[in-house]
Amino acid sequence: MFSKLSVFGTTVVLSAAILTGCGSNGGSSDGQVELDFFTNKSESIDTYKGLIADFEKQNPDIKIKLDAPPEAETVLKTRLTKNDLPDLMGIGGNATYGELARAGVLHDFSEEEVTSSIQPAYIEMVNRLVGPDEKGVHGLPYATNANAVIYNKAKLKELGLTVPTTWDEFVLALEKAKAAGETPIYFTLKDAWTGMIPWNSLGGNLAGDEFAAQKNEGKASFAENYDVPADKMLELLEYGHKDNFGVAYNDGNNAFAKGESVFYLQGNWAIPEILKANPDMELGVFPMPVTNDPAQNRLVSGVDVLLTMNEETEHKEEAMKFIEFMMKEETAARYIEEQKAFSAIQNVFQEDPVFEGIKANFENGSLASFPDHYYPAGMGADGILQEFLMNKDKEAFLTKMDKEWEKVNDR
72-81 and 11-20 are packed helices; what angle lies between their axes, rounded to 10 degrees? 40
pLDDT tens, residue by residue, 136-177: 999 999 999 999 999 999 999 999 999 999 999 999 999 999
**Is pLDDT at 241 greater than 70 in this prediction?**
yes
> What is the DSSP code string of 328-386?
SHHHHHHHHHHHT-EESBTT-----GGGHHHHHHHHHT-EE--GGGGSPTT--HHHHHH
| Span 113-135, average pLDDT | 88
- Amino acid letter, 396: A
Domain 11-144+302-359 shares a fold with domain 146-300+373-409: yes
DSSP SS3 for 29: strand
Of 21-25, 188-192, 252-256, 312-316, the least confident:
21-25
Cβ burial of 314 (10 Å; 0-12, 13-18, 19+) is: middle
pLDDT tens readout for residues 345-379? 988 989 899 999 998 888 787 888 899 988 987 89
Q: What is the distance between the alpha carbons of residues 215 and 222, in angstroms, rounded to a whole number?
A: 8
φ, ψ at 65 (rounded to 5°): -95, 115
Amino acid at 285: V
pLDDT (tens digit per residue) in 34-84: 999 999 888 899 999 999 999 999 999 999 999 998 777 667 777 877 888
Instruction: Note the pLDDT of residue 401.
Output: 98
- Whether 333 shows a pLDDT value over 80: the answer reads yes
The Cα 266–Cα 253 span in angstroms is 10
DSSP-derived pairing of the beta strands 342-343 and 140-152:
antiparallel
Average pLDDT, the chain: 90
Q: How confident is the model at residue 119 (pLDDT cuts 50, 70, 90)?
A: confident
> Computed over its alpha carbons, how large is the radius of gyration of the chain?
21
- What whole-number distance in Å separates Cα of residue 112 and Cα of residue 99? 22
Closest CA to 250 of 268, 277, 225: 277
- Integer Cα distance of 335 and 248 in angstroms: 26
CB atoms under 10 Å from CB of 92, counted, come to 29
CATH of the structural domain 146-300+373-409, one choice from 3.40.190.10, 1.10.3720.10, 3.20.20.140, 3.40.50.300 = 3.40.190.10
The domains of the chain are located at 11-144+302-359, 146-300+373-409
Whole-number pLDDT of residue 13: 41
Q: How far apart are CA 226 and CA 202, in angstroms?
A: 9
Give the E-state strand segments of 108-261 in sequence order.
Answer: 140-152
Which is more confident, 16 or 56?
56
- Could you give the CA distance from residue 403 to residue 409 in angstroms, rounded to a whole number? 10
pTM, entire model: 0.77
Q: Give the pLDDT band (50/70/90) at residue 1.
A: very low
pLDDT at 14 over 60: no
Are 371 and 401 within 8 A, CB to CB?
no
Superfamily of segment(s) 11-144+302-359: Periplasmic binding protein-like II (3.40.190.10)
pLDDT tier at 15, thresholds 50, 70, 90 = very low
What's CA 100's distance to the chain center, in Å?
17
Q: How confident is the model at residue 29 (pLDDT cuts 50, 70, 90)?
A: low
- Ramachandran region of residue 60, left (φ > 0), alpha (ψ -120 to 50) or beta? alpha
**Which of 256, 114, 105 is closest to 185 using CA atoms?**
256
Closest CA to 186 of 244, 270, 245: 244
